[in-house]
Structure 1
Amino acid sequence: MKLLHALLITTILTTGAAAYAAGDHAGGHTSNAPAATSMSHDAMGHGGERMEVMAAQNMVKLALEPAAPLQAGKTTQVTVKLNAVADGKPLTLDDLKEAHTKKLHLLVVDPTLTDYHHIHPVAGEKPGEYVFDFTPLKNDTYRVWADVIPVATDKQEYVQTDMGTPAKEKASIDKATSMMATVDGYTFTLALDGEPKAGSPVMGNVTVTKDGQPFTGLEPVMGAFAHVVGFTEDYNSVLHVHPMGKEPTNDAERGGPKLEFHIEPEKAGFVKLFTQVRIGGKDIFAPFGITVK
């Protein structure tokens, strides 16, 4: 049985309203890269090595341009544009460092915090452009955080913007506590060793079972056996949990059934957590809900 440990890294992203990208009529937006970080410079990551240092102010500008208006259940190609804030220079893959097996991660979620996507766009036809296919479950805006490490700064950045058209009625978040989720026949159970409080540490773990039995067939996903991402009820903050301990060294290794992590939320309120694992070549996202006092 492999036991994974994880350290919570809380990145507080404070932004103003995203401006619409010039000339875009499909719900695209652009972000002018606000300052954003709360991660300690000596935070530890996979296997206990030094985690990426967060930038004090983002140096990357993010814009999203869907090829057509987003519609629930319909797949639309979206173009991502990454440029340097200082001079507008397009940022290619050569300008980005790899983190967790990819150079560009997008964390995407709707205002209800239910439809979460972890996306890795591929390089487009023009420098600094990347594309991905997106199928929303909601007719609403989606908030997108780009997780990148520019080579020029060697500092991790989370750049935030929106895409899509706001729903006619404002979405509400179900803030009920949820400690168990069943997805594709697998049961995920979240346990905490105390009440989560702002500024105080609490240990937690997620256990995966199948038909009531511990499941030890978790496949490597982005260099680990699991990843956990959380979103706060203000729809403006990301909690990213990185597994620690032994990492898989090849695709044949398997992990599970338990993932342990340490969480120290910075502010009170509801948090929606998603545990991402890979089983049978498919990425599975198990949702949980906790309230921080």
Structure 2
Amino acid sequence: MNHHQHHEENSGASEVQVNTTYNSGRVTITIRDLHNQPVDLTETHEKKIHLIIVSSDFENFIHVHPIENESGDYEVDVNLPEDRYLTFVDINPVGLNYTIEPNTITVGESSHTAEINWETLIESDRSTKEFEGKKVTFQRPQLIAGKSATLSFDLNNETPLPYLGALGHVVVLDENGKQFLHVHPTSNDQTVFEANFPSAGFYKLWAEFNFSDTGVMHFPFAVKVFSNE
């Protein structure tokens, strides 16, 4: 089981330039090396690209898989309401260093960035979330910057179906929208993940599970990571 953390896995500067644009309901991603040449991608978890889109207030979360077009770019149809969005292109380029950096998409005239009161969000955030009859409980651990943390989710006695080669996926984003983590379960039979939060502060995480009757659903949770001092 590949459960490594996608986050600055390679040493050295990123050798891949990624750009995302949005036009009439379609996101287009260009991926080029430093010589402006197309880049070969290796599949990770059954897809060449995992595209994560998050709205400025961190409320809307989208995980899709663009398809390569004739010109060598990647496209996916997504209906985005007016807002500013952060996009994260999770790829594994062949033979090149790559660090995931946020891109910004602005839809419509929206230029604001939502102000989020993280302290209030943390205080009011329930450990159990229920959507469409599916209940997921996050066993909140104490999170210390730079130390490996176990993220465990109780699915109310339901066993999810495999999704993209794993029992689930957890995407993590820091309050500034710059630190991006994408982690997978530590085993084939438990919805338990390992993550290392790089710095203290507030984060939002989305746990994705594939249910037999509803399909893939995501469950958001806000967390605070403390300094290791």
TM range (shorter): 0.7 to 0.9
CA distance in 2, matches of 1:202, 1:159: 23
Number of positions where the alignment pairs a residue of Structure 1 with one of Structure 2: 219
CA distance in 2, matches of 1:123, 1:5: 24
CA distance in 1, matches of 2:6, 2:67: 27
CA distance in 1, matches of 2:47, 2:2: 21
Over residues 166-204 of structure 1, what are the superposed CA-to-partner deviations in whole Å (9 max), with x where a residue is unaligned? 7354302252222221122101100134x2122334333
CA distance in 2, matches of 1:186, 1:221: 16
Query: 2:45 matched to 1:89?
Result: no
Q: TM-score, normalised by structure 1?
A: 0.68
Q: TM-score, normalised by structure 2?
A: 0.85
**In angstroms, what is the RMSD of aligned CA positions?**
2.3
- By how many angstroms is 1:77 displaced? 1.5
CA distance in 1, matches of 2:2, 2:222: 20
Query: 2:29 matched to 1:80?
Result: yes
Conserved? CA contact 1:109–1:116, under 8 Å: yes
Distance 1:55 1:171, change over 3 A: same
Aligned-pair identity in percent equals 24
- By how many angstroms is 1:111 displaced? 1.7
**Alignment equivalent of 2:177, drawn from 225, 230, 235:** 235
CA distance in 2, matches of 1:96, 1:125: 16
Bigger radius of gyration among the two: 1
Structure 1 consecutive aligned stretches of length 4 or more whose deviation exceeds 3 Å: 4-7
- Structure with the bigger RCO (C-alpha within 8 Å, sep 6+) is 1
**Alignment equivalent of 1:205, drawn from 145, 152, 156:** 152
Report what 2:106 is aligned to: 164
CA distance in 1, matches of 2:3, 2:27: 32
* Structure 1: tracts of 5 or more residues without a match: 12-36, 40-53, 69-75, 247-254
Over residues 106-154 of structure 1, what are the superposed CA-to-partner deviations in whole Å (9 max), with x where a residue is unaligned? 121112111111111011121x211101122x4211111111122233x
Report what 1:56 is aligned to: 12
**Alignment equivalent of 1:186, drawn from 122, 130, 134:** 134
Query: 2:43 matched to 1:98?
Result: yes
* Structure 2: tracts of 5 or more residues without a match: none
Report what 2:143 is aligned to: 196
Conserved? CA contact 1:267–1:292, under 8 Å: yes
In the alignment, residue 131 of structure 2 is paired with which amino acid?
Answer: V
Distance 1:77 1:100, change over 3 A: same
